[in-house]
Amino acid sequence: MKQYQVIFHLDEEPLEKVAFVLNNILNLLADLGAENVDVELLVNGPAVKAFTSKESPVSELISKILDQDVVIALCNNALVGNGLVPADMLPKAKIVPSGVGELVKKQAEGWAYIRP
């Protein structure tokens, strides 16, 4: 187990907000060292639309966090609510039944919660 465990929460759709959160994750990894921190990005609400398998303005940032073993967890309820299915999403993304359930589990395990 790594020294730090952090879950970031993203539920807003504007690409500027998505890019801001992805850059926050990269800044954290640069500061603490990727070898010292487990990071999960929990995405729910309309923000899931930014994590489809299609190219987007944030694709490069997404690739950078995935290259550092960040887990991207997408809320299945949000997928359904936005007319998406798991096959539409990034292949490396983890689909969780409920975003809020994932947040509760991680916090109960002692993960730090960040909602930029």
- Give the CA count within 13 Å in the CB-facing half-sphere of 111: 23
- Residue 46 pLDDT more than 90? yes
- d(CA 79, CA 88) in angstroms, rounded, equals 9
Please indicate, yes or no, whether the overall pTM of this predicted structure exceeds 0.85. yes
Q: Residue range 4-30: average pLDDT?
A: 98
Q: How many residues in total does the chain contain?
A: 116
- d(CA 89, CA 106) in angstroms, rounded, equals 22
Q: Strand 37-43's sheet: what is its strand order?
A: 94-96, 71-75, 37-43, 4-10, 112-114
Query: Which pLDDT band holds residue 2 (cuts at 50, 70, 90)?
Result: confident
Which segments within 1-116 are labelled E, that is strand? 4-10, 37-43, 71-75, 94-96, 112-114
Domains of the chain: 4-114 (3.40.1260.10)
